[in-house]
Amino acid sequence: MTICVTLSDAPFDPYALLADFARDAGSEYGAIASFVGQTRASGADGAAIRAMELTSYRSLTLRSVEDIAAATAARFELAHLLLLHRVGRMVPGEPVVLVAAAAPHRRAALQAVDYAMDRLKSEAVFWKAEEGDFGRRWIEPSDADADDLARWASSQEEDDR
């Protein structure tokens, strides 16, 4: 099992990285699933966003993302896992996160990516702010984010039975 976790201050090309990931995973795995998140042009209230800034305390943030990666790898039958997250200032359309999983079968790869994203949205140690005509405002995980995360706890209880 190979796990790669990266915090990047610089823009990245998720599709080039995904091609490298697929090549490195090799042909013995039947599934590669991925998710690319990008900066939105509007906030939850519909207001135009000029930029989003993710601030981190690097060692604490990296540790939180590594913990999420380890939990993902422990929960699903994976061969390879990649979690790359941007920090710093990003404009709409810029990639913010790339999660990729390689597994023998599709369900494990798809669920691993979904699980990792739900954990990243709710638990990774980032401070997020949006900038627009309204000024600057902080973004907190939403109730929907909490609901998305909670479904994994109930599915783990079912798995444990």
**65 phi and psi angles, rounded to 5 deg:** -70, -40
Single-letter code of the amino acid located at 135: G
Q: pTM for the complete prediction?
A: 0.92
Predicted pLDDT of residue 4: 97
Helix (H, G, I), strand (E, B) or coil at 141: coil
User: Does the structure show a pLDDT above 70 at 133?
Assistant: yes
Residues in the chain: 161
Query: What share of the chain in percent tops pLDDT 90?
Result: 85
Predicted pLDDT of residue 160: 47
Strand order in the sheet with 135-139: 88-90, 51-55, 127-132, 135-139
Sequence-separated (6 or more) residues with CB below 8 Å from residue 130: 43, 49, 51, 52, 136, 137, 139
User: Does the structure show a pLDDT above 80 at 154?
Assistant: no
Residue where the block lists tokens 């490298």: 20
Which tens digit of pLDDT belongs to each residue from 23-60?
988 877 889 999 999 999 999 899 999 999 999 999 99
User: Residue 48 carries which DSSP code?
Assistant: B
Q: Answer for the pair 141, 70: CB distance below 8 angstroms, yes or no.
A: no
Query: What share of the chain in percent tops pLDDT 70?
Result: 96
Average pLDDT over residues 100-126: 97
Structure-token pair, residue 108: 């494990």
Predicted pLDDT of residue 161: 39
Helix residue ranges per DSSP H, 3-161: 14-25, 58-75, 106-123, 143-160
Q: Is 2-152 a CATH 3.30.420.40 domain?
A: no
Average pLDDT over residues 106-113: 97
Which whole-number Å values give the CA distances from 108 to 43, 66, 104, in the listed order? 32, 19, 8
Round the average pLDDT of the chain to a whole number and report it: 93
User: Residue 133 carries which DSSP code?
Assistant: T
